[in-house]
Chain A
Amino acid sequence: MSATTVQFYCLIAPLMAVVLIATLGRVVPKLYETINASVAIVTFLLVLSVYNSMGEAPVARLVLFEPFAGVAIALQAEPLGMLFALMASFLWIVTSIYSYGYMRGHGETNLARFNIFFAIAISSAMGVALAANGFTLFLFYEALTLSTFPLVTHAGTEKAKRAGRIYLFLLLGTSVGFLLFALIWTWKLTGTLDFQAGGVFDSDIGTTTLNALLILYVFGIGKAALMPFHRWLPTAMVAPTPVSALLHAVAVVKAGVFAILKVCVYIFGIDLLGELEIHRYLAYVAAFTIFATAIIALRKDNLKARLAYSTIGQLSYIVLGALVANAAGVVGGGMHMLMHGFGKITLFFGAGAILVAAHKTEISQMRGIGRRMPITMSAFFIGCVAIIGAPPTGGMWSKWNLLLGTVHSSDWLLVAALIVGSLLSAAYLLPIAVRAFYLPDDGGSTKIKEAPVTILIAMMISAGGCVVLFFAPDFAFDLMQMLVH
């Protein structure tokens, strides 16, 4: 099997879970998570095999369909997409282990529907990661929105419905109104939507047009949650925790920033991007988003809401990295995609564990919870450190490169935003852990009452990942070096 065809199997493998759940799962409902976990492992191994073959030679383009002349649905693995695919498929395995304990521990219903749409969402995320051109990226981007909608509204309550409406309106609205527009415009200007090293635009296209296009792209990719199109993410937290963890900390939101990185590197090219005046102002928007969301996060008492605003801010770090338009920024952005993924999924796992074991959602109720749930809260603490970007977690390397990127751009406002943002993230994350370990419990027992064991295993893997990435970030760094050279 050549790596070219394996790319296609990376998309198909998650869909196997759909088939298995609809057939086998119907007979034995207990098998859902086992099916998910085994399919996730297969998917990860497939992605890994593509990654391994990439070291030898670039992977060839695989054209699936050509809907109309010149525009194809095609796949092609490249370093950035590989990093995204590796992360998403690996964390899917962890999430399915987590789901064993969570979905049943929390008494969720309609598990078949839930697992089917979950698998479709992963397949779409793989499509986004491996897309060879803007058209394919757009198709899978929309598929990802639509397949996650039933997951957001899973509870079926009025609140969930409202969240679903905002979710669809903002994500479909920005992607159809701006992104599709920008893609068709690009296609009309250049005759291609292929991702090419160094960008697709000829030198004779006016800067006004290019500035307009960049604005359309950056705001059109609503999944990156740049202000003012960020509202969908906090409301989507009404979904069950595995969704918030894998999709709204990893697959969906990372698909957004991934798309922005792709556009900056392969549609515009870093050099051209640097020449466009507008990139600086868009970077300011990202910087503002980092600052504003951190302030909002400080004031949120609901744990998932605080984490959601933190996610928006951290996504803007990556957008900022892409928009400073230099190699270090892009390297930092790509690496932060990975590091933040591991860190934030740990935090969401923690939030879900507390909900299942202690039935608590508000931070003010979590005094002394660290003594009752030591493993959960230790992992949670490591996740916090990873988000802040301190050693010994991988978050340090990505923040370091991002900082380098802003320093290279010699825009001190951006440097300041990055540093202040990190300090603020310490301010809104660390008190949760401190409160959990050091403050006395208000009554109640201090007996150890941990979350189900599968939840703990999942948390240990993801928190362990944060630490491992501190000592072994090379593979991600090498991939990013391949990208910028």
Chain B
Amino acid sequence: MLSFHLSALQVVIPLLAAPLCAIFRGPRISWLIALAVGLACAVNSLAILNQVNTSGEIIYALGGWAAPWGIEYRIDSANAFILLIISFIYLVGIFYARDSIKAEVPEHSRCWLYTAWILCFSGLSGITVSGDVFNVFVFLEVSSLSTYILISFGKDRRCLTAALRYLIMGTIAATFYLIGIGFLYALTGTLNMADLAERLPGLASQNTVAVAFGFVVLGLAIKMALFPLHAWLPNAYAYAPNAVTAFLAGTATKAAVYVFMRLAFAIFPDDFFSDLTSTHVIVLAAGIISAILTSAIAIFQDDLKRLFAWSSIGQIGYIAVGLGLASSAGVAASFLHLFNHALMKTAIFMAIGGLFITTGSTTIAALENAGRRMPWTMAAILIGGFSLIGVPFTTGFISKWYLVSAALEQNHWWLAGLILIGSLVTAAYVWKIVEIAYFRKNPDTQIVRQEAPLSLLIPTWVLVTANIYFGIDAQFTGSTATLAATAITGITP
């Protein structure tokens, strides 16, 4: 019986747990609640993925109200995979947060941070499982509002302007999305994704559908920080508390990417995204420009968090390239990179948090001698960086392989070339870090071994190990991503 409610539990557990933190107010108990939510939801997401892959799509009518009237949760291989990513990154992130947050956030406001965090997780889960476009909007707002709060807990006062900037951009995005689905509702009389998918093909020639599509795409492009709509992201990542940055980097933009995929490939008519409107060309172009340009910008950053924030925008560029190919193989490459990028980027930001705890700074200059002072932390950043470049034996290599194959499948050899050039630009900023951490010698200071605390290192290295494991044995991730792509595009690659 419980297995029937799995999909609802994923949202309900965090939604109920969040107020508990606000009631108890203790920093320790709040963390324990958040951790318990993480454990429950991680197990739950595995169970869901298993159920979906063995017995097919889960359709769940919330509160027992059937679809046209009630809200429907619909989970197939695609969102089950995203759910798995979000839940596990959340779990590892919370585990990491205890000591990291302790160092950055005053005791009395920690419970509010965990409340916002759990709510954010609930929102992201809701976006993923929902089969109703308006419900997606609601959860989008839940996650966005709590993200603004999370960012404003940063130690640096500039986090407030960063949060405000994100709030303005996020609100514009949500409004665009809402206008878009408003048009759709006026046209079709339904908000249910499955119904929309049935009714829209007959109306595809109407301009209203195109306008609705434009609004929705634009709104989501802002949320996923697709170049050139990425401006909110660098500051938001740079000034949020380290643990929060690690969590956001792995999850926040990912949910938006998923909704984008769902709308473009499953809800709107089949060739709407590609042939009818040629939107895919814009997404592809934005993606590849972003992959190269923002990686180049990252080279010139002096702050590690900001550097890797720019790198995140570049990586989203690669995901957008996969979408822009508008093929099953391309979408599979995007799904795979969603997972792989979550592993590498979260690990990197966690390691940066470790650096912050020991040196009190996240500037590149703070890395001096870090290769000797904190070999484990530095190695985590290094392996994450290798993965971003796409070095063999890391997940990044598998991502690149899938993406380049997908590009070559459509004979876009120039695109394959550009993707690989992007790797070299990435190598440049990773190399900048390596040189300072391992080669810049400061003869005046004596090198004292000063590693980050174990409570930070363990979660970091769990992700690093996963990064290497899935870089060597990509059967699970590869096949799950392919299944996800099949579920969303309806075509077997």
Knowing A68-B474, A161-B439 are in contact, say whether A146-B391 is a contact too (CB < 8 A). Answer: yes
Interface residues of A in 64-119 (CB under 8 A from B): 65-69, 73
A176 touches B424 (CB 8 A): yes
A54 to B421, CA, bound (A): 42
Asked if B409 is at the interface of the complex by the 8 Å CB criterion, the answer is yes
B416 touches A181 (CB 8 A): yes
Contacts of A362 in B (CB 8 A): none
Please list the residues of chain B having a beta carbon within 8 angstroms of any beta carbon in chain A: 386, 389-393, 398, 400-402, 404-405, 408-409, 413, 416-417, 420-421, 423-424, 427, 431, 435, 439, 441, 471-475, 478-479
B392 touches A138 (CB 8 A): yes
A68 touches B398 (CB 8 A): yes
Q: Which residue of A lies closest to B439 (CB)?
A: A161
Kindly list the 5 A-B residue pairs having the minimum CB-CB distance in the complex, ordered from nearest.
A139-B392, A68-B478, A67-B474, A188-B408, A142-B392
Please list the residues of chain A having a beta carbon within 8 angstroms of any beta carbon in chain B: 65-69, 73, 138-139, 142-143, 146, 153, 156, 161, 165, 168-169, 172-173, 176-177, 180-181, 184-185, 187-188
Supply 9 A–B pairs (Cβ within 8 Å), ascending by A: A67-B398, A67-B475, A68-B474, A139-B392, A156-B439, A184-B408, A184-B416, A185-B408, A188-B409
Q: Other CB < 8 Å A-B pairs besides A146-B391, A156-B441, 8 of them? A: A67-B473, A69-B475, A165-B435, A169-B424, A176-B390, A181-B416, A181-B420, A184-B405
Contacts of B472 in A (CB 8 A): 65, 67, 73
Contacts of A69 in B (CB 8 A): 475, 478-479
A177 touches B391 (CB 8 A): no
Q: Which residue of A lies closest to B336 (CB)?
A: A68
A68 touches B475 (CB 8 A): yes
A212 nearest CB across to chain B (Å): 9
Number of A-B contacts (CB under 8 A): 73
A153 to B431, CA, bound (A): 13
A177 to B400, CA, bound (A): 12
Q: Which residue of B lies closest to A68 (CB)?
A: B478
Knowing A67-B475, A188-B409 are in contact, say whether A161-B435 is a contact too (CB < 8 A). Answer: yes
B424 touches A143 (CB 8 A): no
A18 nearest CB across to chain B (Å): 15
Q: Which residue of B lies closest to A185 (CB)?
A: B408
Knowing A161-B435, A161-B439 are in contact, say whether A168-B478 is a contact too (CB < 8 A). Answer: no
A180 touches B439 (CB 8 A): no
Contacts of B479 in A (CB 8 A): 69
A389 to B408, CA, bound (A): 45
Contacts of B393 in A (CB 8 A): 139, 143
Q: Which residue of B lies closest to A64 (CB)?
A: B472
A138 to B391, CA, bound (A): 10
Q: Which residue of B lies closest to A188 (CB)?
A: B408
A173 to B471, CA, bound (A): 21
Contacts of A161 in B (CB 8 A): 435, 439
A456 to B277, CA, bound (A): 75
Knowing A143-B392, A146-B391, A153-B439 are in contact, say whether A172-B424 is a contact too (CB < 8 A). Answer: yes
Contacts of B392 in A (CB 8 A): 138-139, 142-143
B217 nearest CB across to chain A (Å): 30
Knowing A65-B472, A73-B472, A168-B427 are in contact, say whether A180-B420 is a contact too (CB < 8 A). Answer: yes
Contacts of A188 in B (CB 8 A): 405, 408-409
Contacts of A66 in B (CB 8 A): 473, 475
B172 nearest CB across to chain A (Å): 38
B91 nearest CB across to chain A (Å): 26
B424 touches A173 (CB 8 A): yes
B370 nearest CB across to chain A (Å): 15
B424 touches A177 (CB 8 A): yes
A172 touches B401 (CB 8 A): no
B474 touches A177 (CB 8 A): no
A63 nearest CB across to chain B (Å): 12
B473 touches which one: A65, A139, A180, A187 (CB < 8 A)?
A65
Q: Which residue of A lies closest to B392 (CB)?
A: A139
Contacts of A139 in B (CB 8 A): 392-393
B492 nearest CB across to chain A (Å): 13
Q: Which residue of A lies closest to B417 (CB)?
A: A181
A66 nearest CB across to chain B (Å): 7
B367 nearest CB across to chain A (Å): 15
Q: Which residue of B lies closest to A178 (CB)?
A: B420
Contacts of B474 in A (CB 8 A): 67-68
Contacts of B475 in A (CB 8 A): 66-69
Contacts of B471 in A (CB 8 A): 67
A384 to B479, CA, bound (A): 55
Q: Which residue of A lies closest to B401 (CB)?
A: A184
Contacts of B417 in A (CB 8 A): 177, 181
Contacts of A176 in B (CB 8 A): 389-390, 420, 423-424
Contacts of B405 in A (CB 8 A): 184, 187-188
Contacts of B478 in A (CB 8 A): 67-69
Q: Which residue of B lies closest to A71 (CB)?
A: B401
A188 to B407, CA, bound (A): 10
B240 nearest CB across to chain A (Å): 33
A138 to B390, CA, bound (A): 13
A143 to B390, CA, bound (A): 12
A472 to B211, CA, bound (A): 80
Q: Which residue of A lies closest to B427 (CB)?
A: A172
A65 to B404, CA, bound (A): 21
Contacts of B409 in A (CB 8 A): 188
A188 to B408, CA, bound (A): 7
A69 to B420, CA, bound (A): 22
Contacts of B398 in A (CB 8 A): 67-68
Contacts of B431 in A (CB 8 A): 165, 168
Q: Which residue of B lies closest to A160 (CB)?
A: B439
B420 touches A177 (CB 8 A): yes
A184 to B405, CA, bound (A): 6
Contacts of A153 in B (CB 8 A): 439
B455 nearest CB across to chain A (Å): 26
A156 to B473, CA, bound (A): 36
Contacts of B386 in A (CB 8 A): 146
A156 to B441, CA, bound (A): 9
Q: Counting chain A CB atoms within 10 Å of each CB, which of B390, B401, B423 scores highest?
A: B401
Contacts of A184 in B (CB 8 A): 401, 404-405, 408, 416
Contacts of A168 in B (CB 8 A): 427, 431
A93 to B459, CA, bound (A): 41
Contacts of A169 in B (CB 8 A): 424, 427
B421 touches A177 (CB 8 A): yes
Contacts of A177 in B (CB 8 A): 417, 420-421, 424
A90 nearest CB across to chain B (Å): 27
